[in-house]
Amino acid sequence: MITEISENLYRITLPMPFRLRHVHAYALACGRRLTLFDAGMLMPGAYEKLAADLASRGFAVADIADIYLTHTHADHCGLVEAIQEKSGARLHLTEIARQVHAHFEEGGRLVAKARAFYARHGMSGRDVAAVVEEIEDMKTRLPRLEVATLLRANEVRRAGNRTFEVIFTPGHAAGHVCFFFRDEGLLLAGDHILPYIPPSLSPNIDDEVFQPLSSYLESLTVIEKLPVDSIHPGHGNSFSGVRERIDEIRAHHALKKEALVTLVGRKGQTTFDICARLIGEAAAAWDDWEKFMALNETYVYLQQLKKDGRIRETLTSGVLYYSAA
Ligand SMILES: [Zn+2]
């Protein structure tokens, strides 16, 4: 499906596995020249869908001259390589997003790091193997990226007769950005602010100093200060009322953090133990990917609670345990 959301700016809905089922890319036309924001997921039928949607408005993949990425998760950069092969499009993203992608490409080293990281957080060998499988699967969905320029915070870029600002919004991913068309009050939000679900948070296992939750909440404040009239996210419908949505997401995180702290008792437990208790019986209905995301999120809250001084972390025989401070 392709929808014109503003003059010559199109939303293109592309397929995706998992429960989200779809991801949006956005295409800005100036004459025949297209600027694409995000590039869908690499999966059967996705490229054809992009080509068919563009064709329905008189464009072709070969017209894509530039691609801007909000972040390098597989559902946002998947088709970059195929598009670049066809059109020679110039690719623009942040340095951190480029690094995160490069770490995935290195493969072996990332898997070894992931094994050590998740074992340290109390995962059994079998569960670590399942995580490694998820990472390996994700790797096969990542394209090779030929980068033209790196995005700097708050710089203004031009596409035809339109200009937009690059707003750094680390949190959902370390190198995440939104694109803000100030004249129209229009924000291409990537996965920073979604209409129905709070964006997932997960560790950057290559940079354990990165605090996803506090970075994310700071990035919400950055957006809150902008004169945004309409938000166009990576998943779900476009919406307005950004401040109300930001308040809802803040409340969600505050609630989840409080729910989690009540599960941390005097006796030390691992991130994995605490996550299992948090999910409870619902675990039976969850697939490995959902459990993996829940573990990541538990990690994120525990790290924040530790930083807030509300829980303690101790290392025993290579495994991290958390207890009430
Ligand atoms: Zn996404």
Provide the pLDDT for residue 21: 83
Check: CB of residue 117 under 8 Å from CB of residue 315: no
Rounded to 10°, the helix 125-140/288-307 angle is 110
Task: Give pLDDT, residue 307.
Answer: 93
How sure is the predictor about 14, in pLDDT bands with cuts at 50, 70 and 90?
very high
- Supply the pLDDT for residue 290: 80
Span from the CA of 234 to the centroid of ligand 1 (angstroms):
6
Burial profile 279-316: b = 16 or more Cβ within 10 angstroms, e = fewer: beeeeeeeeebebbbbbbbbbbbbbbbbeeeebeeeee
Cα–Cα separations (whole angstroms), residue 70 to 23, 74, 189: 13, 12, 8
Which is higher by pLDDT, 189 or 210?
Answer: 189
Is residue 294 classed as helix, strand or coil in its secondary structure? Answer: helix
Query: Is there a contact between 151 and 92 (Cβ–Cβ < 8 Å)?
Result: yes
In the CATH scheme, what architecture does the domain 2-107+138-252 have?
4-Layer Sandwich (3.60)
CA of 194 to the centre of ligand 1 (A): 9
The per-residue pLDDT for range 171-200, each reduced to its tens digit, is 999 999 999 999 999 999 999 999 999 999
Task: Please tell me the total number of residues recorded for the chain in this structure.
Answer: 325
**pLDDT number for residue 313:** 96
Q: Which two tokens stand for residue 94?
A: 């942040």
- Our separate counts of H helices and E strands in the chain read 10, 14
Q: Buried b vs exposed e over 131-143: b needs ≥16 C-beta within 10 Å?
A: bbebbeeeeebbb
- The two beta strands, 9-15 and 319-324, are unpaired
Percent of the chain at pLDDT > 70 equals: 99
Between the CA of 76 and the centroid of ligand 1 the distance, in Å, is 6
Cα 264 to averaged position of ligand 1 atoms, centre (Å): 31
Cα 17 to middle of ligand 1, angstroms: 11
**pLDDT tens by residue, 261-299:** 999 999 999 999 999 898 888 777 787 778 888 899 999
Q: What is the DSSP string of 231-261?
A: EEESSS--B--HHHHHHHHHHHHHHHHHHHH
**CA 279 / ligand 1 centre spacing (Å):** 23
Q: Which of 19, 79, 93, 68 is nearest to 188 (CA)?
A: 68
Q: What is the pLDDT of residue 309?
A: 95
**Residue 67, token pair as written in the block:** 């691609």
The yes-or-no verdict on residue 233 having pLDDT over 80 is yes
- What spacing in Å lies between the alpha carbon of 141 and ligand 1's midpoint? 13
CA of residue 318 to ligand 1 center, whole Å? 33
Q: Give distance in angstroms: CA of 25 to centre of ligand 1.
A: 10
Tell me, what's the pLDDT at 133? 84
- How far apart are the CA of 11 and the centre of ligand 1, in A? 15
* Average of per-residue pLDDT across 189-213: 89
Taking only the tens place, the pLDDT of each residue in 17-32 is 866 689 999 999 999 9
**Residue 55 predicted with pLDDT over 90:** yes
pLDDT (mean) for 103-124: 84
Which of 146, 139, 150, 147 is CA-nearest to residue 103? 139
Domain-by-domain residue ranges, the chain? 2-107+138-252
Of 131 and 91, the structure prediction assigns the larger pLDDT to 91
* Centre of ligand 1 from the C-alpha of residue 75, in Å: 5
pLDDT exceeds 70 at position 151? yes
pLDDT in tens, 84-113: 999 999 999 999 999 988 887 776 788 888
The average confidence (pLDDT) of the chain is: 92
